[in-house]
Amino acid sequence: MRTFAAKFYRMNRQTASPFSQISTVVLHLIIINTLVWLATVILYQRFDIDLADYLGLHSWNSATFNPAQLLTYMFMHQAISADGSMAFGHLFFNMFSLYMFGRILEQVWGWKKFLFYYLFAGLGAAVMQEITWMITLREVIAHPDILCQVGSMQMSAEELLGMLCTVGASGSVFGILLAFGWLFPEERLMLIFLPIPIKARLFVGGYAIIELFLGVANFRFDNIAHFAHLGGMVFGALLLLYWKKKGKLYRRN
C-alpha cells in the first residue's frame, strides 16, 4: 500500500499543474484562514479590536480562556507586527505548506479523513501548548496573588496569564508534514534554504529535532510555540498508528 501511495504521488506530481489539483478541503481552509486574517487586520486598524483576544488560544488557567479557542485558534494568524504594520509571513508559510503537502494527503485519504486529521493535529498542538504553559508557569498558577516582573513592568499573575496567546495553523501543518513523511518517506524534497534534494523522512525527523531543541532551549525573544508544533506531530503520529493498526492508513475515508 505504501508503494501505491508513492506511485500516486509521483503520477500526480508529473501530470497535474499546481493549480488544477488543489483539493476541496485545502482550498476552503486557505480561504477561511485568509478571510480571518483580513478581518483581524481590518478590526484592529479601524476599530482597535484585536480578534486574537477572543479567538486566539489562551491559558485555561486564565479568565480569558474559552473552550472554543481550542478550535478557533488554528484559523488565526499573526496579522499585525510590533510596529503596527500588517504581517503576512505567518499566514503565507502555513498556507503554502498546507497547499504543497495537504492536497496530496487529501487526494489519498479523501476529504473527510483529511479534515479529521487536520483538526485532530491542531487540537493536539493546543493541548501541548496548554501543558507547556502549566509547566513553565506553575509557580504563577499556584500563587495567583503574586506580582510578576515582565521586563520593566509589574503585573498580577492573572494579568500575566491573560497575556498568553497562541495563534496559527502551524500545529496542523506540522501534523501534515509528519503524515507526508510517513506515507512518502523516500520522496525527495527541494528546500529553498537548502537547494539539495532531501528525503521526506529525513526532513520531517530533522524538523522535529530542531523544534524540540528550540523548545527546550527557550531562547530569549523567541515567541514561537515550538512545543505546540511538536504536539501536532505527536497527535498526528498517534492517529496514524491507530489507522495503521486498523488497516485504514492508506484507505479513503
- Give the CATH number, domain containing residue 115: 1.20.1540.10
Coil, helix or strand at residue 47: helix
* β-pair partners for 166: 57
User: Is 156 among the domain residues?
Assistant: yes
- Structural domain of 26: 2-245
Q: Which among 97, 136, 160 has a CA at the least distance from the CA of 226?
A: 136
Confidence check: pLDDT of 221 > 60: no
Over residues 139-185, the pLDDT tens digits come to 777 777 776 666 666 777 777 788 889 999 999 999 999 999 999 98
Q: Spell out the long-range contacts of 82-89 with Cβ–Cβ below 8 A and sequence spacing 24 or more.
A: 86/41, 88/37
Could you give the number of structural domains in the chain? Answer: 1
Over residues 187-218, the pLDDT tens digits come to 887 766 566 778 878 877 777 676 666 555 55
The label of the residue with cell 487526494 reads: 107
User: Is 251 among the domain residues?
Assistant: no
Compute the average pLDDT of residues 26-40.
96
Confidence check: pLDDT of 6 > 60: no
Compute the average pLDDT of residues 127-147.
83
Q: CA 67 to CA 99: how far, in whole Å?
A: 28
User: Is 252 among the domain residues?
Assistant: no
Confidence check: pLDDT of 75 > 90: yes
User: Is 232 among the domain residues?
Assistant: yes
Q: CA 56 to CA 225: how far, in whole Å?
A: 13
Compute the average pLDDT of residues 33-45.
95
